[in-house]
Amino acid sequence: MSQPNSLIYSILNTKCPRCREGNMFPKGTLYTTKFADMHSNCSSCGQSLEPEPGYYFGAMYVSFGINVGVFLVAMVVLYQFLEDVSTTMMLGVLLFVIVGFLPIIFRISRAMWISIFVHYEGPGNEIPKKA
């Protein structure tokens, strides 16, 4: 499931969808103000990582779906361990999920979005490099 070139692995590690080797985001910027900065092209195969302006608009829907999923899991866990769950507690969990996981969910939803349109072609040294 998490072999170095599986689809799941490449999405969770935000790798280029075409070669699954190059990183979509610069290293060490996940929990910094630069978490949204992306490489413009894959360093390994040259695939454009932002083919057109506004390309990742649709990734917001993916991100929303992931947020709802994470929130529901958090709610189930909360109800499992507490008898009374107040509105304040729910809002706290919601805030924690949305803010705490923002950079991770942001990146994974972009990786999922581009994976819908750009398909795996092979290792970077075996496929033609794009300009």
Give residues in contact with Zn ion (CB under 5 A). Answer: 16, 18-19, 22, 42, 44-45, 47
Q: How far is the CB of 32 from Zn ion (least distance, A)?
A: 24
Q: How far is the CB of 79 from Zn ion (least distance, A)?
A: 43
25 within 8 A of 38, measured Cβ to Cβ: yes
42 within 8 A of 49, measured Cβ to Cβ: yes
Element at 93 (helix H, strand E): helix 87-100
Q: Decide whether 67 or 121 has the Cβ nearer to Zn ion.
A: 121
Per DSSP, 56 falls in state G
Q: How far is the CB of 18 from Zn ion (least distance, A)?
A: 5
Q: Decide whether 101 or 120 has the Cβ nearer to Zn ion.
A: 120
Q: Decide whether 27 or 83 has the Cβ nearer to Zn ion.
A: 27
> In a 3-state reduction of DSSP, which class is residue 33?
coil
User: What is the distance between the alpha carbons of residues 36 and 33, in angstroms, rounded to a whole number?
Assistant: 8
14 within 8 A of 127, measured Cβ to Cβ: no
Q: How far is the CB of 46 from Zn ion (least distance, A)?
A: 7
